[in-house]
Structure 1
Amino acid sequence: MKSFQEMELYRPLEKRLAELDYTVPTPIQAQTIPAAVEGKDILGCAQTGTGKTAAFALPILDYLGHDAPRAASGRPLVLVLAPTRELAIQIGQSFHTYGKHVRFRQTLVYGGVGQSEQVRSLKKGAHVLIATPGRLIDLMDQGHVQLSDVEILVLDEADRMLDMGFMPAIKKIIAKLPDDRQSLFFSATMPPKIRQLADQLLFNPFEVNVTPKTKSVAKIDQSVRMMERSEKVERLVKVLRGDDVVRSIVFTRTKHGANALTRKLEKHQISAVAIHGNKSQSARQKALGAFRDNRISVLVATDVAARGIDIDDVTHVVNFDMPVDPESYVHRVGRTGRAGADGIAISFCTADEQDKLREIEKLIGQPLRVQNPGAKLSEPTGNAAASRKPSGRNGLRSNGSPATGGHRHKKRYAKGGWNKRRATAKA
């Protein structure tokens, strides 16, 4: 595996990596960075906690250091799409950290806050635009953003964008991009609809897969406890009071459930805070800050709200409710065991949720260890029992337009940098 120094990145960028004590890249960085620097499209299958953000941020900063023209008002050169505002903010922080010695400007746009400051930042000009799809569409419709100069597109956590219903917005955004661009596409899982989107978006991509065959992080101790729904709160309290529990994320299926569970934990003198889509941006940031600083030991979250949370030393993940779709299980347990650390993931499962358990086991390719195999459960309710039929994943591809025209020429020259094709044409 090459060291960062052997990759021969932009010298000030190498200096910054040395200051951060970054010497050996993670597997996804080692595979992605050289190919991305050469201008290749990337199809990356990788979970969170693998160093994925640096895998795309460093090649982009290398390009900006070597070859970036002056930032034009409302016309970014790089577009990074993320599913949630939390992830967008963290990506922005990563660019700021890695790019300390690189002359570039970035702008973040996301919902949940007023847009006036974001519009002002866009007008000043930004090389890198990091955005959630909904807010970006709003700003495009108002004429504040033009995407015709985009040289590099990054689509991060594509599977979660699919889950959140962003595919129409993403396709609308992509339609405004030039065909002659580089695209970097990352997803923790690769269901058929995501593979279809990648086929339409990418040109002869370099594929990177650092996801273990089991599709969940190998160093995480994963288990399931069978129980009645009425037992869940009591069992959760016992888990959270364990001597080995330092910092935990508890997942619920609904926003209401997250709020209700947080109140119940507080009655048991367990410091907890809920985070979900109905919370304001300031409230979410305040909650994450308290959790990161250990002022709160338990974060109760829904799937959508938890995406993009990048906090080390989460020792336990508890699935208070089994996830609606099996891919969400992979994302949930990925909140612990980050950067090679050990972690524990416990799922609470009722009789009504056993179908969900089987779907998860099918996806990850292994059975989850049952902590209490002799547990006697009530019979499933009528709806759950009726739903028990052979489960099949929707593998049929919808009819989508084929990828455009087959000759997209990459714009790298010598050691780094895209040719200023548009700038030359305008001169």
Structure 2
Amino acid sequence: MANVVWHKNFRILLDLTRDDLDHPEFPGLWDLIYATDRFYGRRGVPVSERDLQCGGVCRDLGVEAPMHLRMRGGRREAVHERREDEERHTAPMSDEHKAYQERILRAAHEGGFGGDSEVRTRIGRTWIQTDTLVEGADGRRIGWEVQLSTIDESGLRGVRARAGKAAKNGITPAWHTDRAAYAQRNDAHWTRSDRLPAELIARNGDLRIVSGFRALDFWHCDTSAVYPCPNGIRRCGKAHATAKPRDVFFDDMVRQTAAGTIVPIQFRAGTTVHRYWVTNADGDRLEDLDSDDTRLPPERETTPATGASRNRPTCQPATAPSAEQDPPTPAAPLAARPFLTALPLQPAAPAAETMPPDLEERETSVPQATDTTTGLPTELITLQQAADAAHHKLQQLDDHHERDLQRQAWRQAAEVVQAAVTRYARTKRLNRHEVETRLRQLVRHTAG
């Protein structure tokens, strides 16, 4: 049974707990609808072919659940036709779901924000049911919807409509899950954590969001770019942004979305529009880029997405990627994400490379002198500058023979810097790709 009924023909919601069904402009509405439903019953019209459907939980999930009306002890009741629809209302909330609601409220209160669970917000003649509503700064309202592994993916419908309805009425929807299949959907701003028992979710350890938060890397599409042009051509000369996955603590996510330092965005990649969470600085730069993609948007001051924590982790990082995890994506350049320096990222194994035999016999010690500004060894910077200079000289030549000679010189210089980067990354236990990308951006940005 349910107290809220959707009338398909009238296209209105009926609240059976109110004498006027919450429609005082229609006197005698209950008598009309009840008499019509009884007439259908006497004529043998199936419930599925009548005018009434569940307007509560079933409709929120996008399920069409036929209903009929009856009177019991002078009380109005709407009854589901199918048992599975009725069970959808009576199924108890899982312990994991309750633990997430408690954790969201605790994190919000620790950040100085208010909130409550199972909030029913009245919007005109309808309602918005929110798992946990956080009251943030400057009138900001974050509506957290927790969807765990309690129903099959095919049963999760109506998410886009619910998220749009909430956003239209001043609530920023934030959907959280532990299922990779849900997190990969683009119908709402999803975040995902690993699947954990309730006792681990509820405790004060560091619960990590592994999907849904992104760092935006802004770059210019020229011959020095490390990414392919998203427009499908060699080099278009415009500015672009690349979204890179980054982990963030769940508690920090709750607090910073309420504070407005983490915001939702819609990021277009080809013909697909993704919905991510980013820092407000990255969000502002993306707006600048969308308005004018002929130049890179200016750098903006930002606050860290998360801070260092002394809490023990809620769970240990997985030893091997599972089938439900997000597909691997190349890491963003270090210089492009200064706000994430405090993130406790897991060290990545350096990419294995084969060096020429003559390079392996060269100096194997890591350069000790470092640049005080960037922290990179000065030898790496010098070698990269030499390789770039050789490549620039190659572009200035027109004679075929001279170009062949200069091309060999450029390749030799590039091999030297590649070998030096590999040695440095292995010794320092750093990700080789990130070191190389940061070095190239530093040298080429300084040269520009």
How high is the TM-score relative to the length of structure 2? 0.23
Q: Would you tell me which structure has more strand in proportion to its own residues?
A: 2
**CA radius of gyration, larger in:** 2
TM-score, length basis structure 1:
0.24
